[in-house]
């Protein structure tokens, strides 16, 4: 690994979609970029997500009304939100911050910040698709949110009103209209909401790899290795790899997803990051003719048609990084999908689990390290990593190049906690 002794302009730690977008923006700006990751480009959490560019999904996770659902969900170990009992004591400080983030004043602050991030993300993705030649991987069919009772539909209305304040378009549907948007649904659904501006990508892993190929044309390089620490150095930043070898860079970006807070701690920043463990099953493409992403809010999962299959997944398991996967959660969602789409062929599926890096106020960390202005953080996007990756890449580039940020960054500060 002779290249590890080489001086570079920027070392990006993490080759998920956020790290890749940061690398693209920096390489476009003429910087010599090296990306380091323990596995590969978009091989972990960024490979198996629901493929959504959810620019309209700006409600913080601790939104009004969710608190009423949580006790019911926690009684179901296979439900939309699960906390393994043995993990609860370790999780408690995060949960206290999460509850506090749902208070009206803080909720409104997070909502406004998330809305600004989404507007930027949509603009940056539109431009990046064109620059990178990946627009053919964009799907613009909208999404359909489905409700099993009038009470469930009415409970959703405050959230739609909040989105409407920020210009989100949607249309509420009656039972008789649902088949026009998705034939073959269970008759148990009584209402729906169609969101025309919701977008998806053909396959998130393939998109990430295509963007990386674009970055490589501008000289970006990849090193497969585990990163042990990021520190200040006379040259700017030293990124130490396991085994003791160090990469010297003028600057560094920490975009290592659910592992980022360990590196931030070594730089003096204690970020209360937790891990939403998400599960899914990807079926063969012919399993059912799904026209657009289907959202089941009462059950916490979605069904996404990809170019490579039909992905059924979501839900939240707050269980950290070390517990073994509980694929019974994938199977529970698959069983529900069979009820919601009678005729779904459940055979031939591939189960998966990924680690979503989540912060209690649902906002990512984007900003400089306490220890060094040469280190910028870009992590903690929760289930919106793909959605916000292009915005994060733009903001990281502007921070490192000394340009004014496109949006106010105070709500995303690493030191806000």
Residue 417: inside a domain, yes or no? yes
pLDDT tens for the chain, 417 residues long, are 334 456 899 999 999 999 999 999 999 999 999 999 999 999 999 999 999 999 999 998 876 555 555 666 667 777 778 888 889 899 999 989 988 888 888 989 999 999 999 999 999 999 999 999 999 999 999 999 999 999 999 999 999 999 999 999 999 999 999 999 999 999 999 999 999 999 999 999 999 999 999 999 999 999 999 999 999 999 899 999 998 888 999 999 999 999 999 999 999 999 999 999 999 999 999 999 999 999 999 999 999 999 999 999 998 899 999 999 999 999 999 999 999 999 999 999 999 999 999 999 999 999 999 999 999 999 999 999 999 999 999 999 999 999 999 999 999 999 999
pLDDT of res. 6? 63
pLDDT of res. 74? 66
Residue 30's φ and ψ, nearest 5 degrees, are: 90, 10
Task: List beta partners, residue 296.
Answer: 301
pLDDT of res. 350? 97
Please give the structure tokens belonging to residue 14: 């993490």
Residue 337: inside a domain, yes or no? no
Q: How many structural domains does the chain have? A: 1
In this structure, the number of other CB atoms found within 10 A of the CB of residue 154 comes to 11
Structural contact between residues 67 and 99, judged by C-beta atoms closer than 8 angstroms: yes
CATH code at 269? Answer: 3.50.50.60
Residue 148: inside a domain, yes or no? no
Among candidates 133, 181, 139, which has minimal Cα distance to 307? 139
Structural contact between residues 210 and 134, judged by C-beta atoms closer than 8 angstroms: yes
pLDDT of res. 103? 86
Measured CA to CA, the distance from residue 360 to residue 343 in angstroms comes to: 39
In this structure, the number of other CB atoms found within 10 A of the CB of residue 134 comes to 19
Residue 254: inside a domain, yes or no? yes
287, HSE (Cβ side, Cα atoms, 13 Å):
26
- Domain hosting residue 215, numbered range: 1-64+102-139+199-273+359-417
Residue 242: inside a domain, yes or no? yes
- Cα-Cα-Cα-Cα dihedral sign, residues 379, 385, 390, 391: negative
Please give the structure tokens belonging to residue 364: 């990512």
Residue 403: inside a domain, yes or no? yes
Residue 286: inside a domain, yes or no? no
Map residue 402 onto helix, strand or coil.
coil
Task: List beta partners, residue 282.
Answer: 311, 350
Residue 158: inside a domain, yes or no? no
Map residue 316 onto helix, strand or coil.
strand
Supply the DSSP string of 127-151, one letter for each residue.
HHHHHHT-GGGEE---EEEEESSHH
- Cα-Cα-Cα-Cα dihedral sign, residues 92, 98, 101, 104: negative
Structural contact between residues 205 and 228, judged by C-beta atoms closer than 8 angstroms: no
Map residue 292 onto helix, strand or coil.
coil
Spell 32-71 as b/e; 16+ CB within 10 A means b. bbbbbbbeebbbbbbbbbbbbbbbbbbbbbbbeebeebbe
pLDDT of res. 4? 42
């Amino acid at each position: 690994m002779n290249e590890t002794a080489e001086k570079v302009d920027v070392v990006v730690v993490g080759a998920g979609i956020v790290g890749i977008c940061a690398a693209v923006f920096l390489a476009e700006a003429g910087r010599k970029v090296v990306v380091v990751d323990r596995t590969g480009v978009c091989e972990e959490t960024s490979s198996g997500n629901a493929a959504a560019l959810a620019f309209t999904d700006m409600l913080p996770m601790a939104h009004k009304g969710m608190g009423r659902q949580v006790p019911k969900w926690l009684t179901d170990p296979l439900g939309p939100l699960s906390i393994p009992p043995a993990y609860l004591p370790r999780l408690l400080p995060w949960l206290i911050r999460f509850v506090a983030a749902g208070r009206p004043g803080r909720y409104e602050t997070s909502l406004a910040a998330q809305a600004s991030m989404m507007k930027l993300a949509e603009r940056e993705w539109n431009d990046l698709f064109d620059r990178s030649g990946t627009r053919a991987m964009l799907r613009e069919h909208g999404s359909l949110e489905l409700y099993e009772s009038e009470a469930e539909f009415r409970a959703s209305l405050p959230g739609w009103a909040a989105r409407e304040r920020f210009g989100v378009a949607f249309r509420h549907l009656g039972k008789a209209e649902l088949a026009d948007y998705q034939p073959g649904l269970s008759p148990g659904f009584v209402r729906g909401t169609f969101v025309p501006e919701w977008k998806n990508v053909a396959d998130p892993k393939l998109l990430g790899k295509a963007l990386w190929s674009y970055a490589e044309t501008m000289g970006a390089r990849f090193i497969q290795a585990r990163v042990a620490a990021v520190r200040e150095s006379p040259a700017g930043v030293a990124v130490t790899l396991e085994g003791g070898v160090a990469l010297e860079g003028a600057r560094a970006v920490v975009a290592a997803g659910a592992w980022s807070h360990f590196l931030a701690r070594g730089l003096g920043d204690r970020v209360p990051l937790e891990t939403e463990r998400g599960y899914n099953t990807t079926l063969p493409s012919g399993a059912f003719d799904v026209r657009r992403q289907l959202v089941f809010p009462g059950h916490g999962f979605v069904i996404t048609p990809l170019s490579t299959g039909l992905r059924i997944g979501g839900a939240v398991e707050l269980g950290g990084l070390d517990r073994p996967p509980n694929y019974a959660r994938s199977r529970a969602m698959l069983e529900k999908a069979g009820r919601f789409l009678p005729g779904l062929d459940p055979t031939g599926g591939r189960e998966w689990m990924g680690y979503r890096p989540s912060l209690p106020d649902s906002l990512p960390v984007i900003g400089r390290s306490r220890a060094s202005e040469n280190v910028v953080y870009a992590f903690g996007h929760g289930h919106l990593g793909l959605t916000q990756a292009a915005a994060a890449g733009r903001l990281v580039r502007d921070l490192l190049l000394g340009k004014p940020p496109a949006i106010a960054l105070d709500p995303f500060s690493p030191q806000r906690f």
